[in-house]
Amino acid sequence: MVRHAIDASDKAARRQAILAAAGRLFLRAPDSLPSAAMIAAEAGLAKGTVYLYFRTKEEIFMALLHEQRAQQLDQVQRAFAPGDARSPREKVDAFLDDYVSHIARHPEVLKLDALGYSIIERNVEADFLLASKEAFLTAFGAAGAAVDAALSLPPGQGVRMLLHSHALTGGLWQALDYPEHCRELIARSALATSALDFAAELRAALGQYWRSLSL
């Protein structure tokens, strides 16, 4: 039997352990949400224990999604932090490079995001859902404001640019993430020239978009 988590920090750590286990499993097979049994096993806990920390399986992935989004917004904040002597152009390029390479290395972010609104929300209590979303919207607004400030944009423009970038990222990934066995088919088609390299395609599209709007 696992050590009892008595004080708050123990409990937070155990919660994190469950999240990490869920993330690992999802990364391994992102077609669907891993079962509660698998999450428990991966975390080295009993099935019942998981339900001491989360009310439903979906709440776990909702929390995971929330965490990932928070990290992405942190990245925005760092990229456009005040008191930075670089030119807007440099800031944007650096940000987009980071952003795209991070996405390319962690495609599970996109998978979770895609499942997000269609599957995960189903089995989550309203209070949890609203709290998560509220936190996200707040952080999202703050990140947009940071962009506005760094690039001298009119208020609201940054938020919209982040939104569009997110949309293009998700949509492009979805359109290009063909399963392995379709690759050959596509290679012979009209999409052949451009579409196979998601990261390059995304970087180019975002570069053009940000340049046209902000510089």
> Where does this chain bind DNA (CB under 7 A)?
1-6, 11, 14, 33, 35-37, 45-49, 51-53, 56-58, 123
Residue 6 binding partner per list DNA, its own copies, none, with a CB distance cut-off of 5 to 8 Å that depends on partner kind: DNA
- Which residues, other chains included, contact 90 with Cβ-Cβ below 8 Å and sequence gap of 6+? none
Complex with DNA: residue 1 or 85, whichever CB lies closer: 1
The alpha helices in the chain, defined as continuous H runs, are 8-28, 36-43, 47-53, 57-79, 88-105, 108-116, 126-151, 157-176, 183-187, 192-195, 198-214
Q: Judged by CB, which is closer to DNA: 57, or 66?
A: 57
Is residue 114 part of the contact set for its own copies (CB under 8 A)?
yes
* Contacts for 123 with CB less than 8 Å, ≥ 6 apart: 56, 57, 58, 59
Task: List the single partner that 4 binds among DNA, its own copies, none, CB under 5 to 8 Å by kind.
Answer: DNA
Amino acid symbol at 134: E
Decide: is 167 part of the binding site for its own copies (CB under 8 A): yes
3 state SS of 39: helix
Could you say whether residue 154 binds its own copies (CB under 8 A)?
no
CB closer to its own copies out of 101 and 123:
123
